[in-house]
Homo-oligomer: A and B are copies of this chain.
Amino acid sequence: VRAYDLIFEKREGGELSDASLRELVAAYTAGELPDYQMAAFLMAVFFRGMEGRELATFTDAMLHSGEVVDLSAVSGRKVDKHSTGGVGDKVSLCLAPIVAACGVPVPMVSGRGLGHTGGTLDKLEAIPGFRVDLGIDRYREIVAEHGLCLIGQTETLAPADRRLYALRDVTATVESIPLIASSILSKKLAEGIDALVLDVKVGRGAFMKTRARAEALATTMVELGTRMGKEVVALLTAMDEPLGRTVGNALETLEAIEILRGAGPSDLQEITFALAAQMLVLGRVAGDLEEGEKRARAAAADGSGLERFRRMVEAQGGDPRCVDDPTVLPQAAHKIPVPAPRAGAVREIDALSVGTSAMKIGAGRATKESVIDPAVGVVLQKKTGDRVEAGETLAVVHANDTTLGEVCAKAVGDAFELGDESPPDPVRVLARITAEDG
């Protein structure tokens, strides 16, 4: 590759040819293109962007840098969901079993948490014995047999993305819409899916802080997926307060199980069933979103979703008793209540602040090397719109270190904004973006 020429061309705002983009990705994956040239290219992309055809080719080259799982032996349309990440976002854990129970296979390759946001793999690993490193053959078998499997990215899936992501992470080139879109789609399409629902979070606890940025990302990903021959739909959902009542790995897994029992907090229910409806329509088992949502709610109410979860946990080496007995999951030694400093209405709960505070007691990772404590976290007794008395418990911090726990409790208290007036009812699903919107 004349890498210099490609960096120069992108720097000047040009559009690279398909052949050039494929050579660039291939050379980088093969270790023939040095990191410093790719870093310069990525920064040029940050400033200049990529147009649709370029982005599709770049993403396709990343996708085909490794194995693309063949799930043709699994009958039905395979549909997955990707979330851009938030605080308390345990949706995958309850969504996948519900959708699978409704007859749509869900092959799901997930990630780990970093910073204030959690990761699905970390939450699943709170279940004793649960394995996320099964290898592609076993993954394929479990999807075929149980209709779902949740694993981590392997060495063989989109290796170009793994190298590129690691480089972006240290060169301040993460926050680029085409680079985000290509990273997500190359990984997700390597799973062997036919369609994908994107949950693009918006708000102060999200990666995309503004509605405009979130819409731009959603539109780019929907268009990209469509160009790559997959049906992709995006929901923009609110991430201003934490989703549900729990933040922290074992606590979130238990809350997902609540949803699978037909219970759980209303905001988590709303987001889960909205996403499930999209997946069931994309999976062609529901004719429209209304029917999809009805079927999804039924799978939570009748226990069929919970049964799928149990089978998946067992197939992936986890202790299936966690479904019935919460004490199977690790529990923190100390529970520190956070009292309301005054009476009033909860106007806001700063998700970023709660996520960061939970991270600091071990629920998340400050750096990729941090070790997670699955037991710790925060349980919100009150959510936005609730009324409280002075001294009433707003939240409970679950900690294994009382000093850190007290600091966390203070910060969680500060994350609550109390006022006299109740806020307007929150809108949780802000928009739906499909290929027809393009």
Interface residues of A (CB under 8 A from B): 3-4, 7-8, 11, 34-40, 42-44, 46-47, 167, 170-173
Q: Which of B8, B11, B35, B172 contacts A7 (CB 8 A)?
A: B172
**What residues on B are CB-neighbors of A36 within 8 Å?**
34-36, 38-39, 167, 170-171
Nearest Cβ on chain B to A103's Cβ, whole angstroms: 45
A-B residue pairs, 6 tightest by C-beta? A43-B43, A40-B171, A35-B36, A7-B172, A36-B39, A8-B172
**What residues on B are CB-neighbors of A39 within 8 Å?**
35-37, 39-40, 43, 171
State whether A40 and B37 are in contact (beta carbons under 8 Å apart), knowing that A8-B172, A170-B4 are contacts in the complex.
no
Could you list 15 A-B pairs, sorted by A, with CB under 8 Å?
A3-B170, A4-B172, A7-B171, A7-B172, A11-B172, A34-B35, A34-B36, A34-B170, A36-B36, A36-B39, A36-B167, A37-B171, A39-B39, A40-B172, A43-B43
A97 to B156, CA, bound (A): 65
A170 to B34, CA, bound (A): 10
| Residue from A4, A36, A42 with most neighbouring chain B CB atoms (10 Å) | A36
A167 to B39, CA, bound (A): 12
A39 to B171, CA, bound (A): 9
| Residue from A37, A42, A172 with most neighbouring chain B CB atoms (10 Å) | A172
A352 to B169, CA, bound (A): 41
Q: Which of B3, B38, B40, B170 contacts A173 (CB 8 A)?
A: B40
- Closest-by-CB residue of B relative to A3 is B170
| Residue from A38, A39, A47, A173 with most neighbouring chain B CB atoms (10 Å) | A39
State whether A11 and B170 are in contact (beta carbons under 8 Å apart), knowing that A35-B35, A38-B36, A39-B37 are contacts in the complex.
no
State whether A11 and B46 are in contact (beta carbons under 8 Å apart), knowing that A39-B36, A39-B40, A173-B40 are contacts in the complex.
yes
- Closest-by-CB residue of B relative to A43 is B43
**What residues on B are CB-neighbors of A11 within 8 Å?**
43, 46, 172-173
**What residues on B are CB-neighbors of A46 within 8 Å?**
11
A172 to B9, CA, bound (A): 9
- Closest-by-CB residue of B relative to A171 is B40
**What residues on B are CB-neighbors of A42 within 8 Å?**
40
With A36-B170, A39-B171 given, name 15 new contacts (CB 8 A).
Answer: A4-B170, A4-B172, A11-B46, A11-B173, A34-B35, A34-B170, A35-B36, A36-B167, A36-B171, A37-B170, A39-B40, A40-B42, A40-B172, A43-B44, A47-B47
**What residues on B are CB-neighbors of A170 within 8 Å?**
3-4, 34, 36-37
Nearest Cβ on chain B to A27's Cβ, whole angstroms: 14
A173 to B41, CA, bound (A): 10
- Closest-by-CB residue of B relative to A44 is B43
**What residues on B are CB-neighbors of A167 within 8 Å?**
36
A18 to B411, CA, bound (A): 33
- Closest-by-CB residue of B relative to A168 is B40
Nearest Cβ on chain B to A37's Cβ, whole angstroms: 6
**What residues on B are CB-neighbors of A172 within 8 Å?**
4, 7-8, 11, 40, 44
A431 to B46, CA, bound (A): 37
A236 to B255, CA, bound (A): 71
Nearest Cβ on chain B to A421's Cβ, whole angstroms: 36
**What residues on B are CB-neighbors of A40 within 8 Å?**
39-40, 42-43, 171-173
